[in-house]
Structure 1
């Protein structure tokens, strides 16, 4: 049963009840219909997640939500959520790791990080797609959210997953992954690396191509991405140290072939699009040759890579 079917059934049942159901009803998972409703938290949250331009207003399930009609700049009617005074506006940037997202949500809402961590463990309640395998990393979609004081950590995270599911549908993630011979999770993992490695979104399709070229290289070639190594070690840096590269983490792509086991952050729509539609080219390497201007250059040979390294060092003033 799809989320939409769950939502329709739940709302149909609610329409025949004398008293409104408590929010906890959506969280309890027991047999039969109760189990389906327990899995429908994200569908219920979607009722209280309304898009206003690029901002998403998130109301708690127990909060009254007024949805007046309004006219957009294009002149068409669009539903707006009247959130009142008790709300917090927060922006989650592309590429943040889940731990960073939770820290930001905690700081913005005043809720303990531990509450978000507990909520994140219930992938079914959050509405994660089956291919997420119960893990929220990669699925907490970046964007601007207006969160009411009545929204729980679970409702906030479910709203972010709802937003991801919309973006995945808009980009054709599942079908695109199938055409590429990859799983949706692999595409999202590529997108997370692209997001982390890029300085400019215009370079994203080329970075994605480098990743695929390495994965498909004959003989086998390791990805060798510092960003994955650092994620596995829970470190934040521009580059991994020689000691970091000795890590036995499954995210150490210097010693392990293929993609890491999952996303290393939460990518935005541009990175997902790049992972689905990489540029065409033979590149195997890229280097930020001018960090101040964010200039990235690509090459298909080790000799070309070494030249770009020298150029980067000259621009950084660290020698030729």
Structure 2
């Protein structure tokens, strides 16, 4: 190859430089020219090697990328899935634990795919315990959508304040479709329900009235236990044990008073006064019998606002017309307002009260027997439509 050809291959700075190279004479300059051409040729070989190497990477790199992509992307189903399966998320489970459950039940193809889908949707902290209807072999993204808390399988049951336990169990059986006898059996197992020791083994008064969300898997014992748990929460918040001690009463006595307050009050505003009448009768000088119709009716398993003369002759331990002091225990399940009233009675010297107008829930209070007789006459007049 001529010098001209070599110069063309490796390039030159400009035409002048090529002319100066050829015009130079002497061995020193000729040697330097050969050395410069060898350096230029030495650069070419590595460059060609890099080109060949990059060509190899280009060919094999595509397959390498595909392999990495397959390894990094978890297996996932596509589509909405088929069939039906009920999945339970337990309280305290993490997204990873839920993902493992879904994979085991064949809902998603891999736990990793579900975890990624939850993160993509920003719902890692919004998975709520409960039971959900899912489908087999559904995409992870679709599965995340079906685990919305609003889609939980549950029944909403509202239990009003003042319901007797027997009525509470009937309502629960009706609302859940579970046998009444199963609820009655569960109600007798005080230890399993977690009743406080002062409840004396009886659920009456401690099945806290509220609205409950009941899942299909919850049995009667689970439901009643949830109600007792709610009572414990309320008792702790209200300081039941501590305040009862200040009042010189046991927590069980406070709950008994609260149940009578609940049964006898026409509205929430009267509860503190009704509680005061009870305390004034229990702690007065002289001590008076409570003489509450609600306790008499409970002991006879009857309903009504006024006991008959025959009712008042019963020897039931709940007949507070014949016995001093409180009845053996609560006569219903009081709500928080009644418990608060029993713990914080309104100040006053009332010893009687009469619900003079049962239709409108009007209750009036008296400090003397003469006032009481006037209120009683007013009640009789309203009851007879006068």
Q: 1:151 aligns to what? A: 218
1:97 aligns with 2:180: no
Unaligned runs of 5+ in 1: 1-10, 12-19, 21-56, 66-79
1:26-76 per-residue CA deviation (whole Å, 9 max, x = no partner) reads xxxxxxxxxxxxxxxxxxxxxxxxxxxxxxx995xxx689xxxxxxxxxxx
Q: 1:171 aligns to what? A: 238
Whichever of the two has the greater Rg, that structure is 2
Aligned positions, number: 249
1:152-196 per-residue CA deviation (whole Å, 9 max, x = no partner) reads 000000000000000001111000100000000000000000000
Q: What is the distance in 2 between the residues matched to 1:313 and 1:244?
A: 18
How far apart are residue 316 of structure 1 and its match?
Answer: 3.8
Superposition CA RMSD, Å:
2.3
Q: 1:126 to 1:152 in 2, by over 3 A?
A: same
Q: 1:264 aligns to what? A: 331
Q: What is the distance in 2 between the residues matched to 1:105 and 1:229?
A: 26
Q: 2:297 aligns to what? A: 230
Contact 1:190–1:208 (Cα < 8 Å) also in 2? yes
How far apart are residue 289 of structure 1 and its match?
Answer: 2.1
Unaligned runs of 5+ in 2: 1-91, 93-100, 102-127, 134-146
How far apart are residue 277 of structure 1 and its match?
Answer: 0.1
Q: 1:185 aligns to what? A: 252
How far apart are residue 81 of structure 1 and its match?
Answer: 9.0
Instruction: Flag the structure with more relative contact order, 1 or 2, with Cα contacts below 8 A and sequence separation at least 6.
Output: 1
How far apart are residue 318 of structure 1 and its match?
Answer: 5.0
Q: 1:198 aligns to what? A: 265
| Structure with the larger helix share | 2
Q: 1:219 aligns to what? A: 286
Which residue of 294, 313, 320 corresponds with 1:246? 313
Q: What is the distance in 2 between the residues matched to 1:255 and 1:316?
A: 25
Instruction: Give the TM-score, by structure 1 length.
Output: 0.73
| 3-state SS, counterpart of residue 224 of structure 1 | coil
Contact 1:98–1:266 (Cα < 8 Å) also in 2? yes
Which residue of 341, 345, 356 corresponds with 1:289? 356
Moved over 6 A (4+): none
| 3-state SS, counterpart of residue 215 of structure 1 | helix
1:119 aligns with 2:186: yes
Q: What is the distance in 1 between the residues matched to 2:292 and 2:210?
A: 26
